[in-house]
Structure 1
């Protein structure tokens, strides 16, 4: 009787009796996990969708059709649906039973409400940032204002041509002012409100009164107040800056 022990099989049932060498072909690419690809694609499509809505690529109340959107963003329906659902929770998109997703409408009443919330959040954030900001925080404010001012000192036609750059640099400047704020949720909430206000600001992008020189001087004054560590003055300047800009946008809705 043969009493030699039998070789164990692999978990998938492959009998390795008599096998001495396992060969791995390292020339073949390693397959990336689908879940990770989907998660990465989901984050990307949310950011791109939000940006397109904020910048009025999709105007208020526009129906967002899956057939068009999957081609535009090169993602599957599942990923697109998840992204749109997140933007519903942020207030940029609405979902109606039997009608699908649409870009959220705009109104003067909503703009007033968003403005009031943002002012309170921004004042609290810059007060905390001024109390705890270091030299790097100050340097970031100066450099971001310099980048913003490069565009703001151009002629009106040149500023219009570089409006998308101005929007990004304007955001970077305002974020630099509150970057030293320690409240994580405070920062998240003010960022959400900033995105909502940016959407309304795009209404004024082609109007001379929407990008006036006096608004650019306000940026400089806010920067100086922050660098002087004058929280009360910085808060007052920011409140006027935000409220005035929102009022201009409201009259044009």
Structure 2
């Protein structure tokens, strides 16, 4: 089985790192990862102009490295390049979220089926551990959860990646990872709504874990689809 993408590390960031073994490779990788995370978490809100003078200082990189990172993020749909105006954070819309949701559900459903078919005991153990880490925060009162929201974001990503980590298809994993990042951006844009998009997500995560560990591919895929679709439908109403 081919090595899966490391949970919490996007495929595109790893690809950038693989392009060079020189001393600047880690700086380029770090700049790409930090910039992507800042866009996903709405540090740079949709439509914000990304100024080179400010960003080279923020990420401590040269213009060439920054331009490479922005070009990569443009290919992922996080930024747009306007002739004569430079780079901006891509806008958001209900229509785009609907399309992203449909693509992610398709990729994730296939990935979880592949993972269930190929997963071993270590894969199962990692799922349980990731769910436990996530549940520690999800079981807190809402106000305390929001204080630890950045931790929740990482643990939420780790849990969903653990579910599909045994999927041997590199392109399938890559595509679902890009769609997951895009969904995360919308989650941040709408997270200030009362009670956020929480609902019964704690129970849904446990149900997804149980179905996956039981090797019930149909149920796991159905639960994941409902989990994602419900969240997106709430976000669309807020948009």
Q: Answer whether TM exceeds 0.5 for this pair.
A: yes
- Which segment is superposed worse, 212-221 or 132-141? 212-221
Q: Counterpart of 2:170?
A: 184
For the pair 1:230 / 2:226, whether they are aligned, the reply is no
Report if the CA contact (8 A) 2:128-2:209 is conserved.
Answer: yes
CA RMSD of aligned residues (A): 1.3
Tell me which of the two structures has the higher relative contact order, counting C-alpha pairs closer than 8 angstroms and 6 or more residues apart: 2
For the pair 1:128 / 2:103, whether they are aligned, the reply is no
Q: Counterpart of 1:141?
A: 127
Q: Counterpart of 1:70?
A: 56
Q: CA deviation at 1:209?
A: 4.1
Q: Counterpart of 2:232?
A: 246
Gap runs ≥5 in structure 1: 1-33
Per the normalisation by structure 1, the TM-score is 0.85
Q: Counterpart of 2:40?
A: 54
Report if the CA contact (8 A) 1:93-1:103 is conserved.
Answer: yes
Per the normalisation by structure 2, the TM-score is 0.89
For the pair 1:159 / 2:139, whether they are aligned, the reply is no
1:94-123 deviation line (CA, Å, top 9, x unaligned): 001100000000011000000000000000
Report if the CA contact (8 A) 1:160-1:206 is conserved.
Answer: no
Q: CA deviation at 1:39?
A: 2.5
1:30-89 deviation line (CA, Å, top 9, x unaligned): xxxx98122222111111110000000000010000110011000111111111011001
For the pair 1:175 / 2:194, whether they are aligned, the reply is no
Q: 1:146, 1:35 → 2: CA distance?
A: 36
Q: Over alpha carbons, which structure has the higher Rg?
A: 1
Report if the CA contact (8 A) 2:130-2:162 is conserved.
Answer: yes
For the pair 1:198 / 2:184, whether they are aligned, the reply is yes
Gap runs ≥5 in structure 2: 1-19
Q: CA deviation at 1:211?
A: 4.2
For the pair 1:115 / 2:101, whether they are aligned, the reply is yes
For the pair 1:92 / 2:78, whether they are aligned, the reply is yes
For the pair 1:105 / 2:91, whether they are aligned, the reply is yes
